[in-house]
Amino acid sequence: VALIKGAVQLGIRIFDTADCYDETSDGKGGQGASGHNERLLGRALYESGIARTDFCIASKCGFVTRDWSIDLS
């Protein structure tokens, strides 16, 4: 969080994130797979006091980091 806040203070407004970036994202529901990385980013940006609309947050979709299949039988 401190690193993100420092980047914001330096004027960085674009952040790239995804649950697959966290080292615990092992496909078994670790912190990364549950959005831990995104929560840290959100906390840091919120605490910066700068409007959310002033940031660009890139993310990923379509990466399968765990088994999302559901048995409906």
Provide the whole-model pTM.
0.64
Residue appearing with tokens 């790239």: 16
With bands split at pLDDT 50, 70 and 90, how would you rate the model's confidence at 31? very low
Q: What pLDDT does residue 37 have?
A: 80
With bands split at pLDDT 50, 70 and 90, how would you rate the model's confidence at 39? confident
**Would residue 3 be called left, alpha or beta, if left means φ above 0 and alpha means ψ between -120 and 50 degrees?**
alpha
Q: Quick one: average pLDDT of 18-35? A: 56
Question: DSSP 3-state assignment of 57?
Answer: strand
Average pLDDT, the chain: 77
